[in-house]
């Protein structure tokens, strides 16, 4: 007996679809596109049983063939599937994002990656770590779970932020993404659902797909970040995800930040629905306008969340040190998964990270000053050169999220910018399915001069696209951090 699925009534779905007269032609394709957009934005969750063709046709006042053809297109595109006993059910195609290493070609403007250059203090920390290395050389050099002093320093930092933590609750990983991968590898079964923000960090889409899971996207509104609480509640009722992946502080790519009550409510909601939440704090310390807010899981049992963090944005992506923090038994289980894959994280990197944690407050202050200046310069350049772009005003993080004018698409902009030496990550990389071709993420992680040059190029690209001088043939961009 297949599990009972929530069904959209013909009336509910018809009201989401809106007037069919306004749909692009041919009508079945316009209808399929409209339903696909509802699925990719999370308005119509994946896993929803669609009404019978005849009933929806009657409600929309179109022929049954039109609805049947629209459902067929959705199935062909992976946005619906036929389930025995359940009819046609909404679905999401597996995510597929490629990774290209950042290019070092001279003069190339790389805004495909939201990753700043190394913090100036890094070299000094490496040198100190090198000086401390001889004391380690007589031992075997493996530190499963992390060097004791590093685990203790990470635990102390959590405790100071309001999340009391023992070193045994911390596991050191090879970066933030690695920490998330360990959680999925340990806890996700094929077919399980993972609630994700939408748009979201592309890495999570790839990790979920690789683990055989399916994403349940929940819309993020940078203008009203706490609205995600109600949307997540609804999505959880409809598709019962096992895990959630959230970025409460300066979500990638929107820069949205949950308020203190908002994060408390979201944490409680996800927990009540039985989800374990992976809380990605990669940008949590990059608050540029206001101070820190309480950690996401502060009001819940330790077992409700796995908080993942690291040094890749504050210090450097080349320093492969991150961590996870959760309840001690689960931490031990996750450490075991990690140990099967790699016995230990490099000792020199761990020593360096421990040294950097000792000066993290000063280092962060410097990073924030730099990012503040860059963010403001980027926004000013956009306002001057591309005034019809609608640009978010994030209070932290690493990027702005732009809504493009209706006549140009993100994939076309990305394709037309590349030959001019500007690398971008197109909007669709941040979504499931085909969503977000009307958006572009622009990181403010390069020096001010580079950002201004990049906006000059974008202004040129826009003019060329509008005049027909640039082809802008869409190609899914390689990316993305």
Judged by CB under 6 A, does residue 481 bind ligand PLP? yes
Asked if 146 touches ligand PLP (CB under 6 A), the answer is no
Q: Which residue is nearest to ligand PLP (CB)?
A: 175
User: CA 456, CA 453: separation in Å to the nearest integer?
Assistant: 5
Long-range contacts of 65-70 (CB under 8 A, 24+ apart): 65/28, 66/27, 66/28, 66/31, 67/28, 67/31, 69/28, 69/32, 70/28, 70/29, 70/31, 70/32, 70/35
Residue among 44, 163, 176, 411 that touches ligand PLP (CB under 6 A) = 176
Residue with structure tokens 């140990």? 339
* Minimal distance, residue 246 CB to ligand PLP, in Å: 10
Question: Which region, judged by CB under 6 A, interacts with ligand PLP, from 172-180, 208-216, 286-294, 422-430?
Answer: 172-180
What token pair was written down for 232? Answer: 């997540």
Distance CA 168, CA 145 (A): 9
x/- string (CB under 6 A) for ligand PLP, residues 245-264? --x----x------------
| Residues facing 442 on adjacent strands | 400
Q: Kindly state whether residue 378 participates in binding ligand PLP, applying the rule CB under 6 A.
A: no
Cα–Cα separations (whole angstroms), residue 391 to 114, 171, 387, 404: 16, 38, 9, 9
Candidate segments 175-183, 215-223, 238-246, 427-435, binder of ligand PLP by CB under 6 A: 175-183
Stretch that binds ligand PLP, among 169-177, 232-240, 296-304, 367-375 (CB under 6 A): 169-177
Given the rule CB under 6 A, which of 174-182, 215-223, 293-301, 401-409 is the region that contacts ligand PLP?
174-182
Q: Which residues pair with 391 in a beta bridge?
A: 402
Query: Which residue, among 207, 237, 209, has the nearest Cα to 218 in the 3D structure?
Result: 237
Q: What is the CA angle 441-447-448, rounded to 5?
A: 85
Using CB under 6 A, which residues numbered 282 to 301 contact ligand PLP? Answer: 282
Q: Shortest Cβ distance from residue 383 to ligand PLP (Å)?
A: 25
C-alpha 108/C-alpha 193 separation (Å) is 39
Report the distance separating Cα 286 and Cα 202, nearest Å. Answer: 20
For 30-75, what is the HEC assignment?
HHHHHHHHHHHCCCCCCCCECCCHHHHHHHHCCCHHHHHHHHHHHH
- Residue of the chain from 145, 310, 433, 472 that contacts ligand PLP (CB under 6 A): 310
Hey, which residues between 43 and 102 contact ligand PLP (CB under 6 A)?
Answer: none
- Mutual orientation of helices 10-17 and 53-60 as an angle, nearest 10°? 50
Kindly state the smallest distance separating residue 249's Cβ from ligand PLP, in Å: 10
In 3D space, the residue among 161, 407, 116, 438 whose CA is nearest the CA of residue 281 turns out to be 161
Using the rule CB under 6 A, give the single segment among 83-91, 117-125, 183-191, 309-317 that binds ligand PLP.
309-317
Q: Is 177 in the site for ligand PLP (CB under 6 A)?
A: yes
Taking CB under 6 A as the rule, does residue 213 contact ligand PLP? no
322 lies in the site for ligand PLP, by CB under 6 A = yes
Rounded distance, CA 434 to CA 217, Å?
Answer: 13
For the segment 106-135, give every residue that binds ligand PLP (CB under 6 A): 114-115
- If the CB atoms of residues 56 and 481 are measured against ligand PLP, the closer one turns out to be 481
Which residue from 91, 110, 197, 280 is in contact with ligand PLP, where contact means CB under 6 A?
280
Identity of the residue, 246 or 416, whose beta carbon is nearer to ligand PLP in the bound complex: 246
Number of residues in contact with ligand PLP, rule: CB under 6 A? 17
Interface pick for ligand PLP out of 317, 394, 431, 443 (rule CB under 6 A): 317
Euclidean distance between CA atoms 207 and 186, whole angstroms: 12
**Is residue 394 within the footprint of ligand PLP (CB under 6 A)?**
no
Q: Find the part of the chain contacting ligand PLP (CB under 6 A) among 16-24, 99-107, 170-178, 293-301.
A: 170-178
Q: Cα angle vertex 319, ends 314, 322, to 5°?
A: 70
Nearer to ligand PLP (CB atom), residue 235 or residue 324: 324
Q: Cβ 104 to ligand PLP, closest distance in Å?
A: 18
281 CA to centre of own chain: 11
Stretch binding ligand PLP (CB under 6 A), from 75-83, 173-181, 325-333, 448-456: 173-181
Phi, psi of 23 (to 5 degrees): -80, 150
Q: How far is the CB of 65 from ligand PLP (least distance, A)?
A: 45
**Residue 83 β-bridge partners:** 87
Binding site for ligand PLP (CB under 6 A): 114-115, 175-178, 201, 203, 247, 252, 280, 282, 310, 312, 317, 322, 481
């Amino acid at each position: 007996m297949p599990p009972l699925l929530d069904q959209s009534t013909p009336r509910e779905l018809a009201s989401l679809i809106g007037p069919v007269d306004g749909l692009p032609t041919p009508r079945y394709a316009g209808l399929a596109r409209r339903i696909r957009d509802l699925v990719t934005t999370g308005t119509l969750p994946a896993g929803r049983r669609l009404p019978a063709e005849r009933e929806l046709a009657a409600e929309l006042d179109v022929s049954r063939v039109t609805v049947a053809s629209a459902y067929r297109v959705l199935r062909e595109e992976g946005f619906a599937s036929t389930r025995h006993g359940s009819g046609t059910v909404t679905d999401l195609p597996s995510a597929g994002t490629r990774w290209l290493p950042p290019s070092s070609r001279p003069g190339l403007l790389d805004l495909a990656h939201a990753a700043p250059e190394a913090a100036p203090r890094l070299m000094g920390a490496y040198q100190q770590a090198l000086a401390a290395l001889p004391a380690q050389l007589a031992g075997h050099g493996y530190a499963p779970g992390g060097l004791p002093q590093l685990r203790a320093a990470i635990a102390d930092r959590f405790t100071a932020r309001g999340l009391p933590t023992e070193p045994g609750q911390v596991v050191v990983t090879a970066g933030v993404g690695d920490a998330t991968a360990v959680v999925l590898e340990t806890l996700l079964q094929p077919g399980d659902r993972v609630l994700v923000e939408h748009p979201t960090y592309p890495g999570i889409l790839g990790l979920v797909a690789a683990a055989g899971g399916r994403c349940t996207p929940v819309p993020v509104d940078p203008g009203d970040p706490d609205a995600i609480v109600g949307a997540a509640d609804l999505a959880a009722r409809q598709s019962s995800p096992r895990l959630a992946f959230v970025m409460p502080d300066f979500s990638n790519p929107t820069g949205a930040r949950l308020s203190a009550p908002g994060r408390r409510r979201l944490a409680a909601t996800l927990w009540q629905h039985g989800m374990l939440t992976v809380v990605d704090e990669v940008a949590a310390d990059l608050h540029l306008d206001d101070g820190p807010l309480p950690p996401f899981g502060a009001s819940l049992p330790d077992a409700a969340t796995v908080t993942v963090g690291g040094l890749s944005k504050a210090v450097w992506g080349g320093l492969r040190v991150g961590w996870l923090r959760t309840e001690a038994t689960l931490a031990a289980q996750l450490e075991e998964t990690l140990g099967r894959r790699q016995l230990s994280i490099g000792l020199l990197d761990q020593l360096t990270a421990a040294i950097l944690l000792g000066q993290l407050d000063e280092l962060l202050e410097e990073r924030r000053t730099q990012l503040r200046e860059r963010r403001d310069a980027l926004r000013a350049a956009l306002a001057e050169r591309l005034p019809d772009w609608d640009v978010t005003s994030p209070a932290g993080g690493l990027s702005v999220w732009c809504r493009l004018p209706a006549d140009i698409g993100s994939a076309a902009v990305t394709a037309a910018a590349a030959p001019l030496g500007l690398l971008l990550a197109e909007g669709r990389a941040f979504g499931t399915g085909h969503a977000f071709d009307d958006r572009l993420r622009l990181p403010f992680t390069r020096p001010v001069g580079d950002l201004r040059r990049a906006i000059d190029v974008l202004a040129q690209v826009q003019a060329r696209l509008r005049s027909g001088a640039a082809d802008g043939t869409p190609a899914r961009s390689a990316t993305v951090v």
